[in-house]
Structure 1
Amino acid sequence: MKKILIINGHQYYPFAEGKLNNTLIEKASSWLEEADFEIKYSSSEKEYNVEEEMEKFLWADVVLLQTPLNWMGITWSFKKYMDDVFTAGMMGTLSQGDGRTAENPKQNYGLGGLLKGKYMISVTANAPKEAFNNPDEKFFNGISEDDLMLPMHLNFKWFGLEPLETFFAYDVMKNPEVENDFIRFEKHIKEELIQKA
């Protein structure tokens, strides 16, 4: 049995209540339970205990972060969650500081992670798919979805986790294709989590 921690990084706003993120978590949970995964949950906008959250990371084989794209990054509540949980974990629970040593202070920055599992980021975004990987689109100037999410990839790498392929649901407010997103998401979960984890 594989163990997975699913984190809901959504932050409530009147125009973004979190229904799609919640539905994606529910669907992923159903497919993962069918595949005999054991699941624990966290939510950054609800109360949490820092010690318990660190224990969940130590327990998990895989971490799935389900988050909206919020001002080109994560929500403020998930940033606070990281500030609380990840900072506490740097004291020897989730990582051994920043990976450098007194003997070698200029090398191995960011490589002190103690976790051995994998992670997957799943994002709901209002940007259309065509806004990415296209130098003719002047806002992103050709960057990819993973370029945009690079800080999160580096945060997980800091603690030793290895990436699985990122999932994006595009244009979720202005031009949603929710049923197609669910089909793509099921394929993605089965290929990336169930088959690889």
Structure 2
Amino acid sequence: MKNVFVINAHEEYEFSKGTLNQTMTDIAVDHLKASGYETKVTTMKDAWEIDAEIEKHQWADAVLLQSPVNWMGVPWSFKKYMDMVYSFGMDGRLCAGDGRTRQDPSKQYGSGGTLNGKKYMMSLTLNAPSESFGDPDQFFFEGKTIDDLFWPMHLNFRFFGMEPLPTFSAHDVMKNPDVETDLAKYREHLAASFPTQG
């Protein structure tokens, strides 16, 4: 990997200005540049253009999605981004439709990705505590993991033929924040996922 496209999906609200997600975006970009990677960045506060965003995905060897978890998913502005950018990229730039053809019934749904071999990583911030995941005795998630919760996002990237790097998640960021510990863990995660280029 050499080129990394970083997306900050945070949508600003009066009660949530996006400081943590911006800080994590900045940490990722600083780490990547210091480790020999080229970077491009889009935030949902940017004015973005569909073809330019598709080109960034094509340029990248890896996409790093930095996102808060809003109502068990990504913010609405990033959903709009996906609906526009990813839909227009189905012309072969991100995927060749859904992969099926009438000429070859053996081709399965979701196999039309044209970004094969590229990677993606999700870095998520959420208010739910870490102990609420992966434990069947916990009331809300019933033993599901953060990757279970974000399975639809995994499928979006898989639709393009991309492969996952381990997900990072910072928990309890509003009720019981421990920002310094989260950021230290994030730096370790980045170093493991994006090691220094030789």
TM-score normalised to structure 2 length:
0.95
Moved more, 158-167 or 27-36: 27-36
CA contact 1:64–1:119 (8 Å) conserved in 2: yes
Q: State the 1:108 CA deviation.
A: 1.3
Distance 1:64 1:104, change over 3 A: same
Moved more, 168-177 or 38-47: 38-47
Equivalents in 2 of 1:114, 1:195: separation in Å? 27
Q: State the 1:195 CA deviation.
A: 6.1
Q: Please, what is the CA RMSD of the aligned residues?
A: 1.4
SS in 2 for 1:17: coil
Partner of 1:57 in structure 2?
57
**What runs of 5+ residues in structure 1 fail to find an aligned partner?**
none
Superposed, 1:101-112 pairs within 5 Å as 101-105=101-105, 107-112=107-112
Q: State the 1:193 CA deviation.
A: 2.0
SS in 1 for 2:172: coil
Distance 1:59 1:89, change over 3 A: same
SS in 2 for 1:127: coil
Equivalents in 2 of 1:16, 1:37: separation in Å? 30
Question: How many positions carry a matched residue from both structures?
Answer: 196
Equivalents in 1 of 2:95, 2:184: separation in Å? 37
Partner of 2:140 in structure 1?
139
Q: 1:70-111 deviations in whole A, cap 9, x for unaligned? A: 000000000000000000000111100001111344741111
Partner of 1:122 in structure 2?
123
**What runs of 5+ residues in structure 2 fail to find an aligned partner?**
none
Equivalent residue letter for 1:163: P
Superposed, 1:17-56 pairs within 5 Å as 17-56=17-56
Q: Does 2:191 align with 1:190?
A: yes
Partner of 2:77 in structure 1?
77
Equivalent residue letter for 1:141: E
Q: State the 1:47 CA deviation.
A: 1.6
CA contact 2:36–2:196 (8 Å) conserved in 1: no
TM-score normalised to structure 1 length:
0.96
Equivalents in 2 of 1:28, 1:41: separation in Å? 10
Q: State the 1:171 CA deviation.
A: 0.3
